Structure 1
Amino acid sequence: MTVRPPDRAAAAAATVPVPDPAEDARVTPMMRQYLEIKAANPDCLLFYRMGDFYEMFFSDAEVASRALGITLTQRGKHLGQDIPMCGVPVHAADDYLQRLIALGHRVAVCEQTEDPAAARRRGSKAVVRRDVVRLVTPGTLTEDTLLDSRRNNYLAAAARVRGMGDDVVALAWADISTGDFAVAETQASELAAALARIEPGELLVSDSLYDDPQFRPLWRTAGWTVTPLPAASFDSISAERRLRDYFGVATLDGFGALSRAELAAAGAVVAYVDRTQMGSRPPLSPPAREPRGAVMAIDAATRANLELVATLSGERRGSLLAAVDRTLTAPGGRELARRLAAPLTDPAAISARHDAVEWLVGRSEVRRAIRETLRTAPDIARARARIAVGRAGPRDLAAIRDGIAAARSAAATLGAAGDAPAAIAAIIDRLTGPDVSLHGRLEAALVDRPPLLRRDGGFVRPGFSADLDEARALRDESRKVVAGLQAKYQEATGIRTLKVRHNNVLGYFVETTAQHMEKMSAEPLAGVFFHRQTLASQVRYSTAELADLEGRIATAAERALALEGEIFDALAAAVLAEGTALEAAAAALGELDVHAGFAELAVERDYVRPLVEASLAFEIIGGRHPVVEQALAADAAGPFVANDCDLSPPDGDDGRILLLTGPNMAGKSTFLRQNALIAILAQAGAFVPAARARIGIVDRLFSRVGAADDLARGRSTFMVEMVETAAILNQAGPRALVILDEIGRGTATFDGLSIAWATVEHLHEVNRCRALFATHFHELTALAETLPRLSNATVKVKEWKGEVIFLHEVAPGAADRSYGIQVARLAGLPAAVVARAREVLERLEETDRRAGTAGLVDDLPLFSLKPRRAAPAAAPSPPVHSVLAERLAALIPDDLTPRQALDLIYELKALAQDMAEQ
């Protein structure tokens, strides 16, 4: 996480004295210009354009050289000290910008705004005019080289308005590279969860909110840049004006009933966009208001524990997103990530998504054709955004061209299939929105594979513009043009030896021998050819046409580039005129890609359509973990063992709690996670890895799985566990789904058992939610006798010749052992340690049966590796042999379980020892 405190730039600048250009007459004109621009952008590193480089000076140079690992040099002196300087090539600037932005820096890009030749005409000491054309910050990126094509990069703002209560915080978030813009309200306690879902590249907050003790820990440990702004940036009255001006509307009524806090947050976003883009306005859509409860609430800890979009180590591979991603386009990848991050809670909307997936599952030929079309579909949204802000190249225009073609092809394929569900029909309508004439114009104007940069030229197709073709001919084939003119003059004069030549003094001229001088001086040739020079044997002439040709040849390259620029601007304007239709088509392609990807996944992995309803049901038959199943298949490690899970209310009232016991490595955590992931996939609109699934809407999902500390906040592993458990117990309601694993294991045994016991009771009596609770505290299984909605389940194992075999099957009942020592042996603990652990376990169990924990320390001295005889027991009453005889007479061997038989052996051995010592 990178936080930019308000005084960061001032602190950095203190390392090197920066002169005041108004007071120091020794400052050169160029350096004076630099310092004036820097003074206007004190909180940014200034990329100052000088020819083919962006240069940085003073403290900016020191900061950039350390951050980028580039050489720090000097340029001139100030007050007797060298001025630090470093620079980066303009053609490679994006790479350096990416690294600076990743480190949390802001960069002001200062370009030359006039031609150096024009500056020279103003005087020998005139400085080329320069100005900042853009502020580059983590939340305002548009270049493909600076962005992940399959992830949104949101600029977010959090606002709190007096009079609405300190507990209400509004969020606005916009991706200026795609145009997405949304607002929502949330509780202050849920702000961290909302931001974890959005994952902004940059968050704007007011100074007061930034300094609020309630949120300071969040700003300090978040994974995104926090930018504090003056309170005036969040004024809700000014925000209305900013929004009306940005979207060109007279009233905001058409945007829905936005609260004052939502207006303040949205206004801060557009004001910051205006400031950083220097008047170039990205094509943001009107802010869409997200109602409370419209999506499943998933807090940051749960997202991390379930590894939704990245593993705990930060890698995409191994996450749910990587396992289910079958999208083929960048917009599809972004839409899939959004759906997994924010599953819906409206059964009708979820069902519409399932209808689309089911329709494509049943039409393999249509699905195959659609996916082939999608492979060719470029990123319309980001290309359009770059065109709008003036950072586009010819390939962005080509992306619009090819995107429209892909959209129309997909619409035709879908339409021909017939009987499309509502979600597919809506996609077809949006795919055909862009004007077909725009595609025709772009197709006619652009070459098939245009260059990356506009300044390179060569992107307009030959034959599109006669003037451009002529300029190119002059640029590329001037010899042929001159030869043609020479042939024309030879025919007009009848002089076959006439030549059109060129030298550095006269330029182009017509040359004949002296014997033709009289003919050339007479009418009608004298009216066309005028004398330039007479030599001993040649006479040289010129013509108005030749003089014009000479000028056009000299400027042909510049003219060709200028004409292509004019064509580019005209095409860009045509694209922007179709902005709304292109935005809708881009979104439709992304949605279609997700539907088709889900369908492909369902066919490939045998997923089924879940029934998602408004009840509290949660019944999974043959459920599988989507990530682990694929990992096993990739490693040829055998099939995944499917398991059922039923948390449906037994009496139609509140959900069931399943208490899961069983040994380590048997698959308890996998079982917990897979059911949570199935709920996410179902409400995201996907089919699920199961034989059958019926899920009542889950409005909040909580997961407390795994162990990790949080040293940045001074929290131990157990403290983190308790904080996350507290959040669950304080927030989970009847519609929540809670999965808890090993609560209480990070402290003393009796403390942990007590906490786990009370937690189960609270979930049952207060939260009344659906829950999965895995534990090694076997004592908790007794709660099933007193808590009617709690059921016991265990993960089955089998012992064979001293080995433990994990069956990974979940069945009703309770485990009586954890098999921890067997797992330790499998992990490679030294044999002596394993043997000693077995001895200690036997003594603990024996002591627990016979005399509690008294005398345990004396009986098990540290580091003793040899068995010791137990201390003689007190004389029995009645005699030991009588007790032994009665015990043997009462038992029925066929009724003993393996555990009971083992306990009996210990008991009989102890009695035998007592008899021997009598």
Structure 2
Amino acid sequence: MTDQPTPMMAQYLAIREANPGALLFYRMGDFYEMFFDDAVAAAAALDIALTKRGTHQGQPIPMCGVPVHAAESYLLTLIRKGFRVAIAEQMEDPAEARKRGSKSVVARDVVRLVTPGTLTEESLLEARRHNFLAAWAQVRDDAALAWVDISTGALRVAPCPLPRLAPELARHAPRELLALDGSRLDDIAHEAGAALTELSAASFDSTAAVRRLGDLYGVGTLDGFGQFSRAELSAMGAIADYLALTQRGRMPRLSPPVRESGAGVMQIDAATRRNLELTQALSGGREGSLLSAIDRTVTAAGARLLERRVSAPSRDLALIHRRQQAVAVLVEDSRLTARLRESLAAVPDMDRALSRLGLDRGGPRDLAAIRAGLTAAERIAAMLAGAEGLLAEVAGDLVGHQALTGLLDQALVAEPPLLARDGGFVAAGFDAELDETRALRDEGRGVIARMQADYAAETGISSLKIKHNNVLGYFIETTATHAEKMLAPPLNARFIHRQTTASQIRFTTVELSELETRILNARDRALELERAVFARLLAAVLDQSARIGQTARALAEIDVAAAFADLATGEGWTRPIVDDSRAFVVEGGRHPVVERALKRKGEPFVANDCALTEGQTPAIWLLTGPNMAGKSTFLRQNALIAVLAQAGGFVPAARAHVGLVTQLFSRVGAADDLARGRSTFMVEMVETAAILNQADAGALVILDEIGRGTATWDGLSIAWAVLEHLHGANRCRALFATHYHEMTQLAAKLEGVENATVAVREWEGEVVFLHEVRKGAADRSYGVQVARLAGLPPAVVERAREILDALEAGARDGAARPAALIDDLPLFRAAPPPPPAAPARESVVEARLRDIDPDRLTPREALDLVYELAALGRD
């Protein structure tokens, strides 16, 4: 016979069954407890103790727990490890439950489902990065991707056929992807680093989506937001449905949905983002990426906006020019830029504070953040008086909050506490009744102190104290040594015994109990009044949430412009010309990340020119030269200059003219994908195929060492054909680096192809890398010299040189096959190790030194010996 679960355990099991797929944080007093398999998984993930509590069906129940006050740090660990967490809170006071009977269980329910894409707490989020929740939907032949950051309220949607899904996910880097159950997007989600959550077809119903979105925004029709396809409605509806599920009815404040078009931004696929390290380095962190090298923003919202600009450079020429003009104005007025940046540094993250307040997870500090941000916005607006263009437009969004900031100034203390339930955040003089209640509460403390002194004098016990705890309330405490005196007449008639511990004895009196009632009533009343003030201030802020969000976006725009200006001034960057031509001309171009690293070492960066233009100059450069000479750096720096130019910033060059780049493709570096059974060469070919199948005439393509992962003649053939296809079919601008010197003859055959090389110099058998890109072709690759620099054993280097000389001599003589040349090499074996050197003949100096005992030399004899040895050495 199996044992029946206790009422509490029965409640736990019912809640657990209603929330499958998530760990259940079950609130018990000051702890969140976990049981059964949840406890086993959580204890392992959090490295906390696994204990037991009671039995179920004859087996001990595994249990672990985390303190409520430290729960956020544990949540962060669990979310990062891929868990979802359902938080079940106590929905009533335990005292209320006891009124129903001694065995009644406190009512509990899940108030929130915490998932990677639905985080709002400051401690769970990266301040300078978005935390996107994305949803992909397909309705017949139409598909769309929607994405939202509930911590800031931004909701976007765009058409997205399945082939575009991976590049779009790489661009947005969502933490969680919603998809229809059975959609088989596991690999795509994993590649993007997103947790995949599959939902039923009901969540993606496009008709229901109209109703869900209407309820979310409080409108009867979505026409005021624009026209959306059924797939776009389906994706946004799935997000709304999932938010209702995870937030348990407390829907976040979302901005109206914005429909984006893929034609509005430069198209960059996942491989190119990875190769160029736009927002994340190949090592996995932010350091070493383009974003880390250029990010001089001073606000969290500005940093997030900059990341979006780098991830999706614009193709709107008018918008690019407006952004450039704003940067140019601030470059010309460095004093204004410095003042703006100083004021911006005081701007808190209003977007996320507003989101927490809207979800009823905010506190007094979030109200203070809104106050500080709006106050700074007024100062910044005054600094931009008389500005033109983009700066004038955004400055207009900074003003008009005087009534709200005045209210918050009057109501809040300078540095309020984190939680409203702690009280103490309402400023004195704001609410008369609250001031009176506080006076009574605070006066009670003084009365307690006077009462303690009176009792000490009355009893003759100087160590007597009046203390307070949550169990006994106020009580009189003396040490156990005074127990006999306190319990004997006449004191026992006045002091009522309450509790005895090992070292103390505790009492109360009638007047102390009456005073406690008055003080507790005043304390509770003060907290009640402060909560009412908080509700009033919250309503005032949420009523202005749309305008506050607009101000927050304007501040982020100014921050990015000022950061670009500070970067341009400090690093000597220039404003590029961006137009609708096919030009790509860079004079004195530099790689921003590499230059930054070299500067830290005190080393200079060698700048180089690039010219890919129709007409007199070619559209493709065929780049040759040895490894380590800087070919990959040159390729990448030009791609990054295109990104920065269309992101609206200045660029690391003496001059730049960038014809609008519609697509950016990069195939640089080598990596395998063993999880999918792909070798390094297979990955290279897949990425190259993607470029050749997609690149249009407006694309910029950089390719490095195509065909090097297979046999020499196979690789040369593939590289040759790829270059011809880029030239004849894609007709795009390209930088093509290769070690196949045979390809340099294509410059004479294909119009628009020109040879360039990275210069080196040989000095006494050593190769010196000059890192200069010049017109012309390299005569060799200097691979053997680079191998020697890498530390290969001398015997291997010499053998390699011997084989290379034979192969080159055979090639000059017209040999048909490399194999024939190899067969002629002596025995085709590695050179034997050099014989041991013969013992050297002992010199006169060495013989003299062997006969000397240093310990017996006087200082004078040692000096004479030095002169003697010097003479012997000259002889």
Q: Does TM, normalized by the shorter one, top 0.5?
A: yes
Q: Within 5 A, what are the aligned runs for 1:550-569?
A: 551-569=517-535
Is the Cα–Cα contact under 8 Å of residues 839 and 867 in structure 1 kept in the other structure?
no
Is 1:111 aligned to residue 81 of structure 2? no
Q: Which among 319, 334, 341 is matched to residue 349 of structure 1? A: 319
Deviation at 1:503, TM superposition (A): 13
Is 1:377 aligned to residue 347 of structure 2? yes
Deviation at 1:67, TM superposition (A): 1.3
Instruction: Give per-residue Cα distances to partners, 1:254-284, cap 9 Å, x unaligned.
Output: 1111111000001111111111111111111
Measure, in 1, the Cα distance between the counterparts of 2:166 and 2:448: 72
Is the Cα–Cα contact under 8 Å of residues 807 and 821 in structure 2 kept in the other structure?
no
The range that moved more, 788-797 or 546-555, is 546-555
Is 1:86 aligned to residue 51 of structure 2? no
Instruction: Give the equivalent residue in structure 1 for 2:396.
Output: 429
Q: 1:97 to 1:479 in 2, by over 3 A?
A: closer
Instruction: Give per-residue Cα distances to partners, 1:310-362, cap 9 Å, x unaligned.
Output: 11011211110011000001001100101000000011100000010001111
Q: 1:563 to 1:754 in 2, by over 3 A?
A: same
Instruction: Give the equivalent residue in structure 1 for 2:367.
Output: 397
Is 1:129 aligned to residue 107 of structure 2? yes
Instruction: Give the equivalent residue in structure 2 for 1:140.
Output: 118
Instruction: Give per-residue Cα distances to partners, 1:778-803, cap 9 Å, x unaligned.
Output: 00111111110111111111122222
Q: Within 5 A, what are the aligned runs for 1:664-683?
A: 664-683=627-646
Paired residue secondary structure (2:65):
strand
Instruction: Give the equivalent residue in structure 2 for 1:446.
Output: 412
Measure, in 1, the Cα distance between the counterparts of 2:751 and 2:467: 105
Deviation at 1:601, TM superposition (A): 0.1
Measure, in 1, the Cα distance between the counterparts of 2:826 and 2:113: 69
- CA RMSD in angstroms comes to 2.7
Is the Cα–Cα contact under 8 Å of residues 626 and 758 in structure 2 kept in the other structure?
yes
The range that moved more, 99-108 or 454-463, is 454-463
Instruction: Give per-residue Cα distances to partners, 1:443-479, cap 9 Å, x unaligned.
Output: 1221211222223222222222232223333333315
Instruction: Give the equivalent residue in structure 2 for 1:575.
Output: 541
Is 1:857 aligned to residue 835 of structure 2? no
Q: Which among 363, 373, 378 is matched to residue 333 of structure 2? A: 363
Given residue 174 of structure 1, which amino acid in structure 2 is its aligned partner?
A: V
Paired residue secondary structure (1:477):
helix
Given residue 795 of structure 2, which amino acid in structure 1 is its aligned partner?
A: A
Instruction: Give the equivalent residue in structure 2 for 1:239.
Output: 209
Is the Cα–Cα contact under 8 Å of residues 177 and 189 in structure 2 kept in the other structure?
no
Paired residue secondary structure (1:555):
helix
The range that moved more, 750-759 or 181-190, is 181-190
Paired residue secondary structure (1:432):
coil
Given residue 649 of structure 2, which amino acid in structure 1 is its aligned partner?
A: A
Q: Which among 19, 39, 42 is matched to residue 41 of structure 1? A: 19
Deviation at 1:855, TM superposition (A): 4.7
Is the Cα–Cα contact under 8 Å of residues 795 and 832 in structure 2 kept in the other structure?
no
Given residue 524 of structure 2, which amino acid in structure 1 is its aligned partner?
A: E
Given residue 161 of structure 1, which amino acid in structure 2 is its aligned partner?
A: V
Instruction: Give the equivalent residue in structure 1 for 2:158.
Output: 184
Given residue 10 of structure 2, which amino acid in structure 1 is its aligned partner?
A: R
Measure, in 2, the Cα distance between the counterparts of 1:604 and 1:483: 62
Q: Which among 605, 624, 639 is matched to residue 640 of structure 1? A: 605
Is the Cα–Cα contact under 8 Å of residues 2 and 57 in structure 2 kept in the other structure?
no
Measure, in 1, the Cα distance between the counterparts of 2:3 and 2:398: 63
Deviation at 1:841, TM superposition (A): 1.1
Instruction: Give the equivalent residue in structure 1 for 2:303.
Output: 333
Paired residue secondary structure (1:123):
coil
Is the Cα–Cα contact under 8 Å of residues 173 and 192 in structure 2 kept in the other structure?
no
Instruction: Give the equivalent residue in structure 2 for 1:169.
Output: 143
Given residue 71 of structure 1, which amino acid in structure 2 is its aligned partner?
A: A
Paired residue secondary structure (1:430):
coil
Measure, in 2, the Cα distance between the counterparts of 1:743 and 1:197: 25
Is 1:413 aligned to residue 383 of structure 2? yes
Measure, in 1, the Cα distance between the counterparts of 2:436 and 2:367: 24
Q: 1:39 to 1:812 in 2, by over 3 A?
A: same
Is 1:736 aligned to residue 699 of structure 2? yes
Measure, in 2, the Cα distance between the counterparts of 1:482 and 1:623: 76
Instruction: Give per-residue Cα distances to partners, 1:473-493, cap 9 Å, x unaligned.
Output: 3333315469999xxxxxxxx
Aligned-residue sequence identity (percent) comes to 60
Q: Within 5 A, what are the aligned runs for 1:751-770?
A: 751-770=714-733
Instruction: Give the equivalent residue in structure 2 for 1:661.
Output: 624
Given residue 606 of structure 2, which amino acid in structure 1 is its aligned partner?
A: V
Q: Which among 37, 48, 51 is matched to residue 70 of structure 1? A: 48
Instruction: Give the equivalent residue in structure 2 for 1:838.
Output: 801
Deviation at 1:850, TM superposition (A): 2.6
Measure, in 2, the Cα distance between the counterparts of 1:102 and 1:333: 22
Is the Cα–Cα contact under 8 Å of residues 679 and 695 in structure 1 kept in the other structure?
yes
Given residue 609 of structure 1, which amino acid in structure 2 is its aligned partner?
A: R
Q: 1:260 to 1:742 in 2, by over 3 A?
A: same
Q: Within 5 A, what are the aligned runs for 1:19-38?
A: 26-38=4-16
Measure, in 2, the Cα distance between the counterparts of 1:297 and 1:411: 35
Is the Cα–Cα contact under 8 Å of residues 434 and 526 in structure 2 kept in the other structure?
yes
Q: 1:81 to 1:483 in 2, by over 3 A?
A: closer
Measure, in 1, the Cα distance between the counterparts of 2:166 and 2:516: 69
Deviation at 1:69, TM superposition (A): 1.3
The range that moved more, 447-456 or 182-191, is 447-456
Measure, in 1, the Cα distance between the counterparts of 2:21 and 2:234: 23
Measure, in 2, the Cα distance between the counterparts of 1:130 and 1:482: 38
Is the Cα–Cα contact under 8 Å of residues 657 and 771 in structure 1 kept in the other structure?
yes
Paired residue secondary structure (1:861):
helix
Instruction: Give per-residue Cα distances to partners, 1:99-123, cap 9 Å, x unaligned.
Output: 1111111110000011111111221
Instruction: Give the equivalent residue in structure 2 for 1:17.
Output: none
Is the Cα–Cα contact under 8 Å of residues 125 and 131 in structure 2 kept in the other structure?
yes
Is the Cα–Cα contact under 8 Å of residues 796 and 830 in structure 2 kept in the other structure?
no
Question: Alignment length, in residue pairs?
Answer: 786
Paired residue secondary structure (1:284):
coil
Is 1:96 aligned to residue 66 of structure 2? no
Paired residue secondary structure (2:717):
helix
Deviation at 1:292, TM superposition (A): 2.6
Instruction: Give the equivalent residue in structure 1 for 2:735.
Output: 772
Measure, in 2, the Cα distance between the counterparts of 1:51 and 1:258: 48
Q: TM-score, normalised by structure 2?
A: 0.86
Instruction: Give the equivalent residue in structure 1 for 2:28.
Output: 50
Deviation at 1:665, TM superposition (A): 1.1
Q: Within 5 A, what are the aligned runs for 1:469-868?
A: 469-478=435-444, 480=446, 551-637=517-603, 639-650=604-615, 656-850=619-813, 852=815, 853=818, 854-865=820-831
Is the Cα–Cα contact under 8 Å of residues 65 and 71 in structure 1 kept in the other structure?
yes
Q: Which among 267, 287, 296 is matched to residue 297 of structure 1? A: 267
Paired residue secondary structure (1:558):
helix
Paired residue secondary structure (1:49):
strand
Measure, in 2, the Cα distance between the counterparts of 1:855 and 1:145: 66
Q: 1:482 to 1:863 in 2, by over 3 A?
A: closer
Paired residue secondary structure (1:257):
coil
Is the Cα–Cα contact under 8 Å of residues 589 and 654 in structure 2 kept in the other structure?
yes
Measure, in 2, the Cα distance between the counterparts of 1:427 and 1:245: 31
Measure, in 2, the Cα distance between the counterparts of 1:113 and 1:860: 88
Q: Structure 1: which 5+ residue stretches go unaligned?
A: 1-22, 486-501, 509-533, 539-544, 869-918
Measure, in 2, the Cα distance between the counterparts of 1:35 and 1:867: 74
Q: TM-score, normalised by structure 1?
A: 0.83
Given residue 97 of structure 1, which amino acid in structure 2 is its aligned partner?
A: L
Measure, in 1, the Cα distance between the counterparts of 2:710 and 2:651: 37
The range that moved more, 476-485 or 302-311, is 476-485
Instruction: Give per-residue Cα distances to partners, 1:525-562, cap 9 Å, x unaligned.
Output: xxxxxxxxx99x99xxxxxx999976431322222222
Is the Cα–Cα contact under 8 Å of residues 145 and 160 in structure 2 kept in the other structure?
yes
Deviation at 1:804, TM superposition (A): 1.6
Q: 1:615 to 1:573 in 2, by over 3 A?
A: same
Instruction: Give per-residue Cα distances to partners, 1:717-757, cap 9 Å, x unaligned.
Output: 00000000000000000001000000000100000000000
